[in-house]
Structure 1
Amino acid sequence: MANILVVDDELGIRDLLCDILNDEGHTVELAENAAQARAARHRERPDLVLLDIWMPDTDGVTLLKEWSATGALTMPVIMMSGHATIDTAVEATRIGALAFLEKPITLQKLLKAVEQGLARGSPRKQAAPLPGLMSPRVDSLIKVSEIVGVNHEAVADLGPQSTQNFMLDKPLREGRDEYEKAYFEFHLTKENGSMTRVAEKTGLERTHLYRKLKQLGVNLSRTKRN
């Protein structure tokens, strides 16, 4: 199994992640600040790092930049935070972070992110297109969808014609809303307007789904097939 470094200033979170990852058979090294993280990264050469953004001495994004600038970012890094903005998450992924987990972190999301991180390997390997991607534009949409919590596997389902309509030079929030609206309209049409099936497909509760569709201005009547 893997050697994983967990960097977080909260003792409870460090202990929780350590217990979960140990149960999965991984070896876990703990650090409560950037100084300890630097030492552990040099000493242990971890296969994966779970890095908190907000820390008292040096924040996680700054530490990520440091590793990237010095050539020390040779392992996948997954950022964690309960208060970070989307802009912060996007900045972290541009620097080289593999993914972003929002606290409180669910067991399923944690294990999936760790599995994908270990499978992906070092950040240099991430530059190669993932299987099934149709273009660099779709690749960019998938990275953004991972950050905002959208099921990125459905991006490819939208097809080349749909992805061409997304302009990546727009403000992030505008581009994200545009993608999400097309994403939900696609699944509503595919499921003949069935909110139950769309909720299951997208992994959202029905109440959350209704609220999301209203926020995006999705016309439910137009998504039903005649």
Structure 2
Amino acid sequence: MATILVVDDEMGIRELLSEILSDEGHVVELAENAQDAREFRLRQVPDLVLLDIWMPDTDGVTLLKEWAAQSLLTMPVIMMSGHATIDTAVEATKIGALNFLEKPIALQKLLKAVEQGLAHGTAAPVATQASGKPAAGGPAAVASAAALPVLAGDGVQGAAPVVQMASISFDIPLRDARDAFERAYFEYHLARENGSMTRVAEKTGLERTHLYRKLKQLGVDLGKSKGE
């Protein structure tokens, strides 16, 4: 798992890249302009930066120059643009950018560039979280309850999942019971598919964007559901 900073003034691009990279198991931080990116870099060194060239306040190449001049360009940076010229891409590379992606970005090109960028980076590994175990089911168990199958594992990839029973009370409002059931249902499939949103979408019959929003709405911790 790596921390990736996405810097782009277009909300749609930020959300799309966040969804894709989160699905790959990364922690994604978002910045809508150069100032947000500056502030984040002063607080933390990301493992990789995806940096848009054309932004309203300060363009990406100027920000790249700032980081280089301040000795803050200690992480791999991949530039992105739908309008940049070859000269701009070459300039960014000379300053220290690792790669350049042309918008609209093809999924496979994005994933390959990110993989290469992370392999190239020399930043320290991201600290693991205190607990990597998947949640054991929605709300706390209540005596009078309906049993739901939930996968519980130790977070080791390839390990056979163990089915446990999560309990949902019949004495709570229908809406709360429905949310609890859906939370347990999705956690079950996330654990079974090792956190792959693509496979979970296929299993549950939901479009991936709808599935992602549903999980956010239910408060499902995607990070803890990853098998990696």
Name the TM-score, length of structure 2 as normaliser. Answer: 0.53
Q: Structure 1: 5+ residue runs without aligned partners?
A: 124-226
CA distance in structure 2 between the partners assigned to 1:6 and 1:57 by the alignment: 16
Give the partner amino acid of 2:104. P
More helix by share: 1
Does the Cα contact within 8 Å between 1:5 and 1:41 map onto a contact in 2? no
C-alpha change, 1:122 and 1:62, in structure 2 (3 Å) is farther
Query: What secondary structure is seen at the aligned counterpart in 2 of 1:66?
Result: helix
1:34 corresponds to: 34
Q: Distance in 2 between matches of 1:31 and 1:75?
A: 16
1:45-84 alignment, distance < 5 Å? 45-84=45-84
Match of 1:7 in 2: 7
CA drift at 1:73: 0.1
Cα drift, residue 44 of structure 1: 2.7
1:106 aligns to what? 106
CA distance in 2, matches of 1:47, 1:41: 11
**Distance across 2 between alignment mates of 1:9 and 1:57:** 9
Partner of 1:118: 118
1:35 is matched by which residue type in structure 2? Q
Give percent identity, aligned residues only.
Answer: 80
- Amino acid of the structure 2 residue aligned with 1:65: K
Residue in 2 that maps onto 1:89: 89
Task: Please name the residue that 2:135 is paired with.
Answer: none
Structure 1 or 2: more strand by fraction? 2
Q: Distance in 2 between matches of 1:43 and 1:35?
A: 13
In structure 2, the gaps of 5 or more residues are 124-228
SS of aligned partner of 2:28: strand
Give, in whole Å, the separation in 2 of the partners of 1:41 and 1:105. 24
- Kindly indicate whether structure 1 or structure 2 has the higher relative contact order, using CA contacts under 8 Å at least 6 residues apart: 2
The 5 Å alignment of 1:123-202 reads: none
Please state how far the C-alpha of 1:38 moved relative to its aligned partner.
0.5
Cα distance in structure 2, aligned partners of 1:56 and 1:48 = 22
Structure 2 distance, partners of 1:115, 1:40, is 22
**Deviations 1:144-191 (Å, cap 9, x if unpaired)?**
xxxxxxxxxxxxxxxxxxxxxxxxxxxxxxxxxxxxxxxxxxxxxxxx
User: What SS is found at the alignment partner of 1:54?
Assistant: coil
Count of aligned pairs between the two proteins: 123
User: For residues 75 and 34 of structure 1, what CA distance do their matches in structure 2 show?
Assistant: 16
SS at match of 1:114: helix
Q: Secondary structure at the match of 1:18?
A: helix
The one-letter code matched in structure 2 to 1:11 is: M
Question: Residue type matched to 2:95 in 1?
Answer: I
Kindly state the Cα deviation for residue 122 of structure 1 after the two structures are TM-superposed: 4.3
Contact 1:34 1:57 in 2 (8 A): yes
Alpha-carbon distance in structure 1 between the residues aligned to 2:110 and 2:17: 9
CA RMSD of aligned residues (A): 1.1
Q: Distance in 2 between matches of 1:84 and 1:110?
A: 17
